[in-house]
Amino acid sequence: MQGVPIDYVELDSDDLAASRSFFAAAFGWRFTDYGPDYLGIEDAKLDGGISRAEGARKLPLVILKAADLDAAEAAVRKAGGEITRQQFDFPGGRRFHFREPGGNEMAVWSESEQQT
């Protein structure tokens, strides 16, 4: 597999309104509302979003984009990654989550309509 770029970063927030205010004021980011629990980050030079925290807050989630989700999953497994969330559909595509050997949880998504 050739180099796969970081495409998206998700953050958790205990208070979406406060997070929106902070990032807008501190960095000039704009946001797109995707319902009451998710803000799409604009103007950050890298796509991202902020989701309402449910329970314990999570670390930021780095999301990679691949043309072939099944091939990306196979490569993650082969390289020693642990799948932590099986492939699932979401508005705009499909993705899975994994933990790399160093302990960081990440995800890979694809615009394709692949089914496994």
**Span(s) in the chain for CATH 3.10.180.10:** 1-54, 66-116
Q: Which residue has the tokens 């997070």?
A: 19
How many Cα atoms sit within 13 Å of 28 on the Cβ side? 3
**DSSP for residue 58:** P
For the stretch 36-46, pLDDT in tens is: 999 999 988 88
The CATH number of 66-116, from 3.40.50.300, 3.30.200.20, 3.20.20.80, 3.10.180.10, is 3.10.180.10
Q: CA 13 to CA 89: how far, in whole Å? A: 23
For the stretch 50-79, pLDDT in tens is: 888 888 877 889 898 999 999 999 999 998
Query: Residue 63: beta bridge partners?
Result: 8, 107
pTM of the model: 0.72
Fold adopted by 1-54: 2,3-Dihydroxybiphenyl 1,2-Dioxygenase; domain 1 (3.10.180)
109 contacts 7 by C-beta, under 8 angstroms:
yes
When pLDDT is cut at 50, 70 and 90, the band that residue 115 belongs to is very low
